[in-house]
């Protein structure tokens, strides 16, 4: 029986799978101590509750160029209010676990800022700030394991718990939901958590890279209702579905009726169910269960309980321990083995997993965000998406495929999809000042939107740096750029990295055009935008600008860094990257 007087709130600041997974694992730790755990996203957590709670654990990640994730922005704005007294959170004990990636320039900055601000408002740090690094071979588990051990000891002391108050690890916790099979005759169309309120109809779907190019990239044009608005730099959010073949494969593993309606009931009244109306198991398999994702450690923390085979149980149990993480990494992460394949790998365990536990074991399909590659002014009642198909080989027989990119590029004209629009992390300046855009690969997508919008408004001085492998194979939107240049609305520079012996990238083109760019930035207050893969390009471009400030602007090293920081503060240097 959980003790509701010993209450711990765990909130996560973004809808990414990692932050929710960590939060759920912390929640299970708290429940095993027979304390009451409430897990929620910050976007669903009423800020007024801060005054009532006494112990909150924050799990948060950093997005973009050191930005707070969407679901955390309102909460952060509230914490920054100048009228908040210095002792307004003196009643609160807290700790922060940050999820970050050290390949980004502003590593874990959100967790650092949050931790500092909570203490400024009088909150008392329960255990020191922990910062996980996605670059570590074991991912966030490398930081999470020792942090959770410390948290367990601290909570035991805080709540004055005895040794026998801890629920044994060999006893499964109750499932998140109970499942009832009903006789209801009809079910509604099912979409995960009802995030999407608008419908788009696919007009065209074309591959825009050469057929013999290693990377398939598609341009998809969607028709939308007249009342829907978006601005250049905004993103379209869609929620993919599993393929019919994969759904059938998954359903074949279950020993339950798959086409009869079921109703979920949350075991905790504070927990929301994905869908209140009856849905079938097939609908959940199609639109909810992300069984093509790589299983996390928490998957095995449930899975091993139901094994009836000693050999399988021993292996599954090993995957739940800190000592077994290297072997788990080698089994799952290196070959990118997915949940569906793991379920097949343990045939003496999978049939014994109660269906209701799958909601604890398998994450929900996450909405995906794509930069809109069109201007509404140039394409009324439409939005365009530029999508690179994720497909690659590992040591496993079947190639790995990205769920969303495979789904969306497989759509046919006339197909309808639910979507929503959200603000992107980059946006056009309010003035008619020049803009400098750096967008290699599919990073050029938002800059097609920028360039088209400025052309419609007859605003010149648009400079674009593009990077591709081959001019003849993946020069994306080449006709658009040439047409805009013919109208004297755009000047573009290209770097085709594989068309000559020495590789040339966008940062090299930036460096070669230093005098022009310095004049635009320093004399004409130009804004700079960088979009694309987060791996090495953003840092390379940043270094090119810093060198330009020194060579063409005559600034020393410190002054160059300060100048770039000033541009960032003024929103004149904006970055949108993705892993």
Sequence-ordered list of residues with C-beta below 8 angstroms from that of 497, at least 6 positions apart, any chain: 467, 468, 469, 503, 504, 505
* pLDDT of 64 higher than 70: no
Average pLDDT over residues 9-26: 84
pLDDT tens for each residue of 101-134? 887 778 899 999 999 999 999 999 999 999 999 8
Average pLDDT over residues 305-309: 94
Task: Give the C-alpha separation, 422 to 550, whole Å.
Answer: 38
Task: Give the C-alpha separation, 83 to 60, whole Å.
Answer: 25
Question: Which two structure tokens, joined as six digits, stand for 78?
Answer: 């509230």
Q: What is the model's pLDDT at position 185?
A: 56
Task: Give the C-alpha separation, 34 to 8, whole Å.
Answer: 11
In percent, the amount of the chain with pLDDT more than 90 equals 77
Question: Which two structure tokens, joined as six digits, stand for 29?
Answer: 């730790």
* pLDDT of 504 higher than 90: yes
pLDDT tens for each residue of 203-213? 999 999 999 99
* pLDDT of 41 higher than 60: yes
Task: Give the C-alpha separation, 282 to 264, whole Å.
Answer: 14
Total residues found in the chain within this entry: 579
Q: What is the model's pLDDT at position 578?
A: 80
Binding site members for NADP(+): 442, 497-498, 503-507
Question: Which two structure tokens, joined as six digits, stand for 524?
Answer: 């004409």
Question: Which two structure tokens, joined as six digits, stand for 288?
Answer: 């909810």
Average pLDDT over residues 75-84: 92
Environment class of 445 (CB within 10 Å of its CB; exposed 0-12, middle 13-18, buried 19+): buried
Q: Where are the beta strands (DSSP E) in 428-567?
A: 435-438, 462-468, 491-496, 527-533
Q: What is the model's pLDDT at position 188?
A: 55
Q: What is the model's pLDDT at position 53?
A: 93
Q: Does residue 463 contact residue 520 with C-beta atoms inside 8 Å? A: yes
* pLDDT of 376 higher than 70: yes
Q: What is the model's pLDDT at position 276?
A: 57
Q: What is the model's pLDDT at position 338?
A: 98
Which H helix or E strand runs over 550?
helix 537-551
b/e map 144-154, b = 16+ CB within 10 Å: bbebbeebbee
Average pLDDT over residues 209-233: 96
Q: Are strands 235-238 and 55-61 parallel, antiparallel or unpaired?
A: unpaired
Q: What is the model's pLDDT at position 193?
A: 45
How much helix, strand and coil, in percent to the nearest 5, is found in the chain?
A: 35, 20, 40
Average pLDDT over residues 70-80: 89
Nearest CA among 184, 401, 193 for reference residue 284: 193
pLDDT tens for each residue of 262-276? 999 988 777 778 765
Binding site members for FMN: 14-19, 61-64, 99-108, 134
Environment class of 308 (CB within 10 Å of its CB; exposed 0-12, middle 13-18, buried 19+): exposed
Quote the distance between the C-alpha of residue 182 and its chain's center: 35
Average pLDDT over residues 429-454: 97
DSSP string, 107-140: TTHHHHHHHHHHHHTT-EESS--EEEETTSTTTT
Residue 445: C-alpha distances to residues 90, 189, 196, 219, 530 (Å) = 47, 31, 22, 10, 11
* pLDDT of 1 higher than 60: no
Q: What is the model's pLDDT at position 278?
A: 82
pLDDT tens for each residue of 525-550? 999 999 998 778 999 999 999 999 99
Residue 333: C-alpha distances to residues 296, 297, 328, 394, 461 (Å) = 9, 11, 8, 11, 46
* pLDDT of 229 higher than 50: yes
Question: Which two structure tokens, joined as six digits, stand for 576?
Answer: 């949108």
Nearest CA among 485, 463, 466 for reference residue 475: 466
Question: Could you tell me which residue, 188 or 161, shows the higher pLDDT?
Answer: 161
* pLDDT of 192 higher than 50: no
In percent, the amount of the chain with pLDDT more than 70 equals 96
Q: Does residue 392 contact residue 255 with C-beta atoms inside 8 Å? A: no
Residues β-bridged to residue 179: 264
Q: Please give the biggest Cα pair distance in the chain.
A: 77
Lowest-confidence segment of 155-169, 298-312, 373-387 by average pLDDT: 155-169
Environment class of 490 (CB within 10 Å of its CB; exposed 0-12, middle 13-18, buried 19+): buried
Q: What is the model's pLDDT at position 4?
A: 63
Query: With bands split at pLDDT 50, 70 and 90, how would you rate the model's confidence at 194?
Result: very low
Q: Does residue 445 contact residue 371 with C-beta atoms inside 8 Å? A: yes
Q: What is the model's pLDDT at position 135?
A: 87
Q: What is the model's pLDDT at position 187?
A: 53
Binding site members: 14-19, 61-64, 99-108, 134, 336, 368-371, 402-405, 442, 497-498, 503-507, 578
Question: Whole-prediction pTM value?
Answer: 0.88
- Please name the residue that has the structure tokens 């000042």: 433
Q: What is the model's pLDDT at position 150?
A: 96
Mean pLDDT of the chain: 92
Residue 342: C-alpha distances to residues 88, 224, 348 (Å) = 48, 40, 12
Binding site members for FAD: 336, 368-371, 402-405, 578
């Amino acid at each position: 029986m959980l003790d509701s007087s010993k209450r711990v709130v765990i909130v996560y600041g973004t809808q990414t799978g990692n932050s929710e997974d960590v939060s759920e694992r912390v929640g299970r730790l708290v429940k095993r101590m027979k304390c009451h755990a409430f897990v929620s996203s910050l976007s669903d957590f009423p800020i007024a509750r801060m005054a009532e709670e006494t112990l909150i654990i924050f799990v948060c990640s950093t997005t973009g160029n050191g930005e707070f994730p969407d679901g955390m922005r309102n909460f952060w704005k509230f914490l920054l209010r100048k009228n908040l007294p210095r002792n307004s959170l003196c009643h609160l004990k807290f700790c922060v676990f940050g999820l970050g990636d050290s390949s980004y320039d502003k590593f874990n900055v959100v967790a650092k800022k949050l931790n500092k601000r909570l203490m400024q408002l009088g909150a008392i740090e329960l255990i020191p700030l922990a910062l996980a690094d996605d670059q570590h071979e074991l991912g966030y588990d490398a930081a999470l394991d020792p942090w959770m051990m410390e948290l367990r000891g601290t909570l035991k002391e805080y709540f004055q718990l005895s040794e026998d108050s801890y629920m044994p690890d060999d006893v499964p916790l109750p499932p998140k939901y109970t499942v009832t099979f009903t006789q209801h005759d009809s079910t509604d169309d099912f979409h995960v958590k009802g995030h999407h309120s608008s419908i788009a109809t696919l007009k065209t779907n074309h591959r825009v890279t050469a057929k013999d190019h290693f990377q398939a990239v598609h341009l998809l044009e969607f028709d939308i209702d007249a009342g829907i608005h978006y601005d250049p730099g905004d993103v379209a959010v869609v929620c993919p579905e599993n393929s019919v073949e994969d759904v059938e494969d998954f359903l074949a593993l279950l020993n339950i009726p798959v086409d009869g309606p079921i109703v979920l009931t949350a075991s905790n009244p504070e927990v929301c169910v994905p869908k209140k109306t009856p849905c079938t198991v097939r609908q959940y398999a199609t639109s909810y269960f992300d069984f093509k994702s790589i299983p996390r450690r928490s998957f095995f923390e449930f899975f091993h309980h139901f094994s009836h085979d000693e050999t399988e149980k021993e292996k599954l149990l090993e995957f739940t321990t800190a000592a077994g993480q290297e072997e788990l990494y080698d089994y799952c992460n290196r070959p990118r083995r997915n949940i569906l394949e793991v379920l097949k790998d343990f045939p003496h365990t999978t049939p014994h997993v109660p269906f209701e536990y799958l909601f604890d074991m398998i994450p929900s399909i996450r909405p995906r965000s794509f930069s809109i590659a069109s201007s509404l002014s140039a394409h009324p009642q439409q939005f365009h998406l530029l999508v690179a198909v994720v497909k690659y080989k590992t040591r496993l027989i079947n190639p790995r495929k990205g769920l969303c990119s495979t789904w969306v590029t497989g759509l046919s004209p006339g197909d309808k999809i639910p979507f929503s629009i959200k603000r992107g992390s980059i946006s056009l300046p309010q003035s008619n000042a020049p803009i400098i855009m750096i967008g290699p690969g599919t990073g050029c997508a938002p800059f097609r939107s920028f360039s088209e919008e400025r052309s419609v408004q007859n605003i010149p001085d648009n400079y674009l740096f593009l990077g591709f492998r081959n001019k003849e194979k993946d020069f994306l939107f080449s006709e658009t750029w040439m047409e805009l240049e013919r109208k004297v609305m755009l000047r573009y520079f290209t770097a085709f990295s594989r068309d000559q012996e020495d590789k040339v990238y966008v940062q090299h083109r930036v460096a070669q055009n230093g005098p022009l760019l310095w004049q635009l930035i320093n004399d004409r207050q130009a804004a700079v935008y960088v979009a694309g893969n987060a791996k090495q390009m953003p840092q390379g471009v940043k270094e090119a600008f810093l060198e330009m400030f020194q060579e063409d602007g005559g600034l020393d090293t410190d002054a160059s860094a300060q100048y770039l920081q000033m541009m960032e503060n003024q929103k004149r240097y904006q970055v949108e990257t993705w892993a």
